[in-house]
């Protein structure tokens, strides 16, 4: 059940993120729900690309939103709100890995064969994906991306799946645009360009953040921030 009344949501859905941020800072705290629902998909994909675990990704999403809410006054509008928020999400995911002492210990060479392609796709015989449906290709693509080293995994999800610009991805990952391009090129080599070409339009359907998850995350964040009764 949405926290923001249906009629109120319909009235404010045309507002920009910046307008909603301003109103939240002015005291209309429950409008923060709209920001979460607008950006849950991107935030989930960014975190999932790092943690590779659905349940843990939801948990870190909530932490990221709490952190964003607590620092909302620091958003200055120099970048898009979605970029600012995704950067917080990525940092929270990396922090979770660091806290566990698991900053992706797998070396990228473990994923490569003699010709530089991912071992999982090295075969001269007909492969299952050659006759797969779009749904199977989507699943295959998700598995292939999650098999990448974290350096390439995050940039691939942000650029190819979430379709962020090079500049946005660089801002989120705190690297240069040149590094984004280099990492993405290397990721494409590991994934084999043919896989992406055959997956086609299904690429943007990978790592979908379903409505039930969206509701769970919104409820969890509002409980942590105690916003359910903030406007009473």
Which 8-state DSSP code applies to residue 157?
Answer: I
Long-range pairs for 67-75 at CB < 8 Å and ≥24 separation?
67/92, 69/32, 69/221, 69/225, 72/21, 72/24, 72/25, 72/32, 73/25, 75/21
Q: Are residues 115 and 201 in the same domain?
A: yes
Q: Residue 214's pLDDT is what? A: 83
User: Do 21 and 36 sit in the same domain of this protein?
Assistant: yes
> Are residues 116 and 69 located together in one domain of the fold?
no
User: In CATH, what number is assigned to the domain containing residue 201?
Assistant: 1.10.10.10
What are the phi and psi torsion angles at 142 (to 5°)? -60, -45
- Computed over every residue of the chain, the mean pLDDT equals 78
* Total tally of structural domains belonging to the chain: 2
Residues 6+ positions from 220 with CB-CB distance below 8 Å: 58, 62
pLDDT of the residue at 167:
95
Secondary structure (3-state) at 112: strand
- Residues 155, 69 share a domain: no
Domain that includes residue 78, residue range: 6-102+209-225
**54 and 141 in a common domain:** no
Q: Is residue 1 part of a domain?
A: no
* Long-range residue pairs from 9-18, CB within 8 A, at least 24 positions apart, any chain: 9/34, 17/80, 17/81, 17/82, 18/77, 18/81
86 and 163 within one domain = no
Structural domain contains residue 231: no
Which one is predicted more confidently, 219 or 10?
A: 219
pLDDT tens-digit profile of 93-138?
999 988 877 554 333 333 343 333 334 333 334 444 344 445 666 7
Residue 61 inside a domain? The answer is: yes
Q: Are residues 120 and 162 in the same domain?
A: yes
pTM to 2 decimal places: 0.69
In a domain, 230, yes or no: no
In a domain? residue 232: no
Average pLDDT over residues 49-56: 89
Q: What is the sign, positive or negative, of the torsion defined by CA atoms of 99, 84, 177, 52?
A: positive
């Amino acid at each position: 059940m949405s926290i923001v009344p249906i009629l109120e949501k319909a009235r404010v859905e045309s507002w920009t993120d910046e307008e909603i941020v301003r109103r939240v800072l002015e005291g209309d705290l429950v409008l923060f729900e709209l920001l979460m629902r607008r950006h849950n998909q991107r935030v989930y994909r960014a975190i999932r690309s790092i943690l590779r675990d659905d349940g843990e990704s939801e948990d870190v999403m909530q932490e990221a939103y709490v952190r964003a809410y607590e620092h909302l006054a620091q958003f200055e509008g120099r970048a898009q709100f979605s970029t600012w928020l995704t950067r917080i999400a990525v940092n929270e995911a990396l922090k979770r890995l660091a806290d566990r002492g698991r900053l992706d210990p797998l070396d990228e060479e473990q994923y490569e064969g003699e010709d530089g392609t991912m071992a999982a796709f090295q075969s001269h015989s007909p492969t299952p994906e050659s006759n797969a449906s779009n749904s199977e290709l989507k699943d295959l693509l998700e598995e292939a991306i999650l098999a990448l080293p974290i350096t390439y995994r995050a940039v691939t999800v942000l650029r190819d799946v979430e379709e962020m610009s090079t500049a946005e991805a660089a801002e989120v990952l705190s690297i240069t645009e040149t590094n984004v391009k280099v990492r993405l090129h290397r990721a494409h080599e590991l994934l084999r360009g043919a896989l992406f070409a055959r997956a086609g339009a299904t690429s943007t359907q990978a790592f979908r953040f379903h409505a039930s998850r969206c509701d769970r995350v919104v409820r969890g964040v509002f409980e942590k921030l105690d916003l359910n009764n903030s406007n009473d």
